Amino acid sequence: MAREQTSDHLYLVDGKGEHHIRCHGEVGYPFFGQLILDCLNRTENAMTQEHAFLAADLCLQAQVMATRIE
């Protein structure tokens, strides 16, 4: 049996609790290729600029509100 990589796991937390999803062999990376092409070609096929800025803003807000557990 092949060893599963740690990058093959998705941990999702929502209003219903914590969820662990094993993604090994389930997904590819087409979005990232499209996003890189958007950056190079100044297009918005993978994601609109507004959506990208909102995602970045939410990440920064989450980082500010995060609690460090030691």
- Quick check: is 45 in a domain? yes
Give the pLDDT score at 25. 75
Q: In angstroms, rounded to a whole number, what is the distance separating the alpha carbons of residues 28 and 67?
A: 32
- Quick check: is 70 in a domain? no
pLDDT digits 0-9 by tens, 8-66: 888 989 999 999 988 877 766 788 889 889 999 999 999 899 998 999 999 999 999 99
Name the H helices within the chain: 30-41, 49-65
Question: Which residues, at least 6 apart from 23, have a Cβ–Cβ distance to it below 8 Å?
Answer: 8, 9, 10
Please tell me the total count of domains within the chain.
1
Diameter over CA atoms, the chain:
44
Domain carrying residue 42? 6-65
- Quick check: is 17 in a domain? yes
* pLDDT band at residue 5 under the 50/70/90 scheme: low
Tokens representing 10 are 């998705």
pTM over 0.85: no
- Quick check: is 25 in a domain? yes
